[in-house]
Amino acid sequence: MTTNNKPMTVAIIGGGFSGTMTAVQLMRKAKHPLKVILIERNERIAKGVAYGTLCPLHLLNVPAKDMSALPDDSQHFFKWAKEQDPSVTEATFVPRMRYGAYIEHILNETLSHKASTIEFRRLQGEVKSIQIANDGKSGCIHLSYGEQVVADRIVLALGNLAPANVRIRDPKFYATANYVRDSWSKAALPKLSADAPILLVGTGLTMIDKALELKLSGHKGTIYALSRHGYLPNVHIPGTVRLPVPFEPNKLPSTVLALTKQIRQLVKNVEASNEANWRQAVDSIRPVTQELWQLWNNTEKKRFIRHMRCIWDVHRHRIAPEVGAMIDTMIKAGQLKIIAARVIAIEEDGADITVTISPRGKNKEEVLNVKRVINCTGADSNVKTIDEPLVEHLRNTGLLCADTFGLGPTITNDWALVDKQGKASSVIYVVGPLLKGQLWESIAVPELRGQASQLADHLITSPLCHSEQREESAATKGSSS
Ligand SMILES: Cc1cc2nc3c(=O)[nH]c(=O)nc-3n(C[C@H](O)[C@H](O)[C@H](O)COP(=O)(O)OP(=O)(O)OC[C@H]3O[C@@H](n4cnc5c(N)ncnc54)[C@H](O)[C@@H]3O)c2cc1C
């Protein structure tokens, strides 16, 4: 086979939503021969951390009408979910595991309709390193079980990486069996007696997941959930009102203070008119959140991260009303205790764990006695310190460098990875939550579906493809004339 006829190979590392949908979009959009390799370390693809859950109490935190995986067909998920279960309405918060089945369905459908010139390969294994060819035009991916894969383009769709350990006096505890760092792993709950007190570090969405899982498993012991402010995610109130973006084009607030003032005023106005509530006001800036983030200078970004992040998170990332009601019941029954405090030390003595905390607004430290500590602080994206083998390798070889705020790697506007020397890669691209440093809002399906589509467009029209297409069409012309 000559170079001219060689299809472009795109290898995608990570088979969660972002990786799977990038593969789907590539296969749907490609007009020329293409080989797509989807690499996932876990057995199942299309699920990822969020939709691989087996707990039926884990619901989507976005209503069905907004969860289409296809940017050009907004009703796609709703229609699919309704076909599966006629009781689903646009406002239903569907179980997350069903969403995983939806993504799997899209992948299977794409595979059954793809052109014969499109090849798809799925590999199960962990990618530990990538070596870029001397000419900088391709990369060799090394998998944990020894296989090597050469690709013209490599997409990092690594998603939600395990949370960082919270800093404590002596980190020795983190090596013990009663500490669970990755709460999404299957090993978080087994071998725990039903009345054992537990500490969940974090009070956000991951904590909510774990508390519900404990409830479903019949756990009776006290569950302490702790974070510096003790804020819980707010609850959605179903409603169809969608407010327009509250800023005139080209007049986005250029400071955090200006944004805060304008949002406060907007909330006042909409609540006074009884037309909507603060939720719709917060949602109204969603279409321009990325633009706002990119407009702000580093001082404003820093200010937002320091002062507004935790407030933003609990207002922007809300939970389904059913989930809110279950959590409320657990709190009222005294089983779930929310604490605003800092963890100072965690020590283990036999099966007993002593957690020293510094409660917010008090001068005196307090102690919690528990049997297990589960880290629920959420995904870590600070590539400067992340200890995942692939990220460590990319960092150590200088292929990747952290962005200013530790939110992800530095990347270009078309999401190519930028190396330590500041040079954009022509091989490695990033999609998904690791784009947070560049976009801030890069977590949920409404953004990620667009990213998968945009990246696919970019990759199939990138210079490699162009030159090959040119060579190919020249060759085709030559042979037919
Ligand atoms: C618990 C939870 C619930 C959520 N709920 C919602 C929701 O209801 N609605 C919504 O819109 N968004 C939700 N989100 C946001 C979520 O981040 C996105 O919707 C989406 O699932 C992210 O997909 P991803 O593929 O980017 O990441 P992930 O789902 O994290 O997938 C990344 C995949 O990459 C694999 N991987 C990583 N490194 C390697 C490697 N070196 N080699 C091989 N494989 C590797 C991992 O095993 C993983 O399967 C939720 C997130 C979480 C964590």
Ligand 1 centroid from CA 65, angstroms: 20
Ligand 1 centroid from CA 105, angstroms: 17
Nearest to 338 by CA among 352, 328, 323, 326: 328
Stated as kind and residue range, the H or E segment containing 426 is strand 424-430
Nearest to 66 by CA among 98, 34, 91, 48: 91
CA-proximal residue: ligand 1, atom 38 (nearest): 158
Ligand 1 centroid from CA 53, angstroms: 11
With b for 16 or more beta-carbon neighbours within 10 A and e for fewer, the 240-250 pattern comes to: eeebeebbeee
Ligand 1 centroid from CA 374, angstroms: 19
Asked if 3-161+381-476 and 171-234+319-375 have one fold, the answer is: yes
User: Ligand 1: which residues within 6 Å by Cβ?
Assistant: 13-19, 39-42, 48-50, 60-62, 96, 126-127, 157-160, 209, 390, 432-433, 443-445, 448
pLDDT at 159: 95
Ligand 1 centroid from CA 47, angstroms: 8
Closest atom, ligand 1, to C-alpha of 433: 26
Ligand 1 centroid from CA 453, angstroms: 17
pLDDT grade, residue 1 (50/70/90)? very low
CA-proximal residue: ligand 1, atom 52 (nearest): 50
Q: What is the DSSP letter of 161?
A: B
Q: Where is average pLDDT lowest: 55-64, 100-109, 186-195, 470-479?
A: 470-479
Judged by DSSP in three states, 344 sits in: strand
Ligand 1 centroid from CA 248, angstroms: 34
Q: What is the 3-state secondary structure of 26-52?
A: HHHHCCCCEEEEEEECCCCCCCHHHHC
Pocket test for ligand 1, best of 96, 160, 439 (most atoms within 8 A of CB): 160
Alpha-carbon distance of 460 to 32, in angstroms, equals: 9
pLDDT at 3: 46
Nearest to 286 by CA among 70, 457, 447, 462: 447
Closest atom, ligand 1, to C-alpha of 21: 25
Nearest to 391 by CA among 439, 430, 449: 430
Closest atom, ligand 1, to C-alpha of 445: 11
Please tell me which residue, 207 or 275, carries the higher pLDDT value.
207
Q: Which CATH architecture has domain 3-161+381-476?
A: 3-Layer(bba) Sandwich (3.50)
pLDDT grade, residue 232 (50/70/90)? very high
Alpha-carbon distance of 157 to 39, in angstroms, equals: 10
What is the rounded end-to-end Cα distance, in angstroms, of the chain? Answer: 22
Q: Which CATH architecture has domain 171-234+319-375?
A: 3-Layer(bba) Sandwich (3.50)
CA-proximal residue: ligand 1, atom 14 (nearest): 444
Pocket test for ligand 1, best of 158, 434, 439 (most atoms within 8 A of CB): 158
Please tell me which residue, 273 or 149, carries the higher pLDDT value.
149
- Residues paired with residue 417 on neighbouring β-strands, in sequence order: 411
Ligand 1 centroid from CA 361, angstroms: 36
pLDDT at 277: 86
Nearest to 192 by CA among 210, 219, 224: 219
Which CA distances in Å does 75 have to 21, 63, 79, 99, 243? 17, 11, 6, 14, 20
Instruction: Dump pLDDT digits (tens) for 111-163.
Output: 999 999 999 999 999 999 999 999 999 999 999 999 999 999 999 999 999 99
Closest atom, ligand 1, to C-alpha of 51: 21
Domain layout of the chain by residue ranges: 3-161+381-476, 171-234+319-375, 256-316
CA-proximal residue: ligand 1, atom 29 (nearest): 48
Instruction: Dump pLDDT digits (tens) for 242-271.
Output: 889 999 888 999 999 999 999 999 999 988
Alpha-carbon distance of 300 to 23, in angstroms, equals: 36
